[in-house]
Structure 1
Amino acid sequence: MKAGSTFFLKLTIFFIGLPILAVCIYGLSRFDPNSPYWALPELENLQYPLLIGMYIGMIPFFFALYQTLKLLAYIDKNEAFSNMSVAALKKIKYSAIAIIVVYLIEMPFLYLLTMADDAPAIIMGLVVIFGSSVIAVFAAVLQKLLQQAIDIKAENDLIV
């Protein structure tokens, strides 16, 4: 397989990660404790749990993006049917599960934010949880199928 065959997917991964990185650097740093928004009595105790939860959720997100790039590199090297690819899919699955756990822990704080500010925080949290669930299931299915394909290939190599 040509090395450029996965270029579009790598570019897509880059353009997925770039805005999230921008939010990490610029967007979340705008949680200014001196802002009049956070001075409201209902919101003053929510700022740091929300900020910490969002930054913790970014760690498995970027780790999953890195594992995806590694998986695409294995495909470029014609090593798609290898145990390294299965391990990358397993790490992507665990990263998605970690994001789900982080946002499930964060949901009470998002609920309080929704009640205090009428913001769509609950919906955003549910979108992240649902999206991560889809990725976790998809990665688990691909991992199982890839492992079965590797096993069948190993059996056929023994027969020949």
Structure 2
Amino acid sequence: MNQVSTLFLKIAVIFIGLPILALCIFVVPEIGRYAGELLSNITYIKYFVISFFYVSAIPFFIALYQAFKLLIFIDKNKAFSELSVKALKVIKYCAIIISGLFVIAMPLFYFVADADDAPGVIIIGLVIIFASMIIAVFAAVLQRLLQEAIEIKSENDLTV
């Protein structure tokens, strides 16, 4: 039963990554082109927008890979190990990096929203910031709990 549920979660992790990969391939160049047309007075805005989205996708895929590794550790009954703590730590840092990147890019979202008269662009940026911060806090809490469980387990192993 344990491997069935982790298999389902592994498939879910893959299906989370596929739409983002498709967005990076098909939509991000169009967003860059649109931003270049919209903010034509800023010379390299097209390349900045494209590179920003690609750079922010890197920690996302690293975090997905770490989540996949965490599920593999659960399958191998190594859920309570330092490897799991390390994977959660990497997920936490990736979420913080994504949030930080989008905080830095919020003026760009503002310029695009102001030029296009679409305030929803700013809301999308804020949703990404807060969602990644929630993931970072959740990963930090899980990391702390897992670390304490490992310490309790090692203490129990020493007393027996």
Normalised by the length of structure 2, the TM-score is: 0.91
Q: How far does residue 3 in structure 1 lie from its aligned partner after superposition?
A: 2.8
Structure 1 pair 32/66, CA: closer, same or farther in 2 (3 Å)? Answer: closer
Give the Cα separation in 2 of the matches to 1:123 and 1:158: 52
* 1:39 correspondence with 2:37: yes
Structure 1 pair 48/74, CA: closer, same or farther in 2 (3 Å)? Answer: same
Q: How far does residue 31 in structure 1 lie from its aligned partner after superposition?
A: 4.2
Which of the pair is proportionally richer in helix?
A: 2
Structure 1 pair 108/32, CA: closer, same or farther in 2 (3 Å)? Answer: closer
Number of the residue aligned with 1:89:
88
Question: How many residues are treated as equivalent by the alignment?
Answer: 157
Are the equivalent residues in 2 in contact too, given 1:86–1:146 (CA < 8 A)?
yes
Runs of at least 4 residues off by over 6 Å: none
Any unmatched runs of 5+ in structure 2?
none
Are the equivalent residues in 1 in contact too, given 2:32–2:47 (CA < 8 A)?
no
Of residues 48-57 and 69-78 in structure 1, the stretch that sits farther from structure 2 once superposed is 48-57
For each residue in 1:12-36, what CA deviation from the matched residue of structure 2 results, as whole angstroms up to 9, or x when unmatched?
A: 1111110000001111122464x6x
Larger relative contact order, structure 1 or 2 (CA cutoff 8 Å, min sep 6): 1
Are the equivalent residues in 2 in contact too, given 1:43–1:116 (CA < 8 A)?
no
Give the Cα separation in 2 of the matches to 1:25 and 1:68: 23
For each residue in 1:87-145, what CA deviation from the matched residue of structure 2 results, as whole angstroms up to 9, or x when unmatched?
A: 00000000000101111111110110010002322111101101100000000000000
Are the equivalent residues in 2 in contact too, given 1:43–1:113 (CA < 8 A)?
no
Name the % identity: 54
Q: Which amino acid aligns with 1:82?
A: S
Number of the residue aligned with 1:59:
58
Are the equivalent residues in 2 in contact too, given 1:110–1:122 (CA < 8 A)?
yes
Any unmatched runs of 5+ in structure 1?
none
Number of the residue aligned with 1:49:
48
Residue 79 of structure 2 aligns to a residue whose secondary structure is coil
Structure 1 pair 130/38, CA: closer, same or farther in 2 (3 Å)? Answer: same
Structure 1 pair 117/2, CA: closer, same or farther in 2 (3 Å)? Answer: same
Q: How far does residue 38 in structure 1 lie from its aligned partner after superposition?
A: 3.6
Q: Which amino acid aligns with 2:106?
A: M
Structure 1 pair 47/158, CA: closer, same or farther in 2 (3 Å)? Answer: same
Structure 1 pair 24/152, CA: closer, same or farther in 2 (3 Å)? Answer: same
RMSD, matched Cα: 1.7
Structure 2 counterparts to residues 53-132 of structure 1, below 5 A? 53-119=52-118, 120-132=120-132
Q: How far does residue 2 in structure 1 lie from its aligned partner after superposition?
A: 4.1
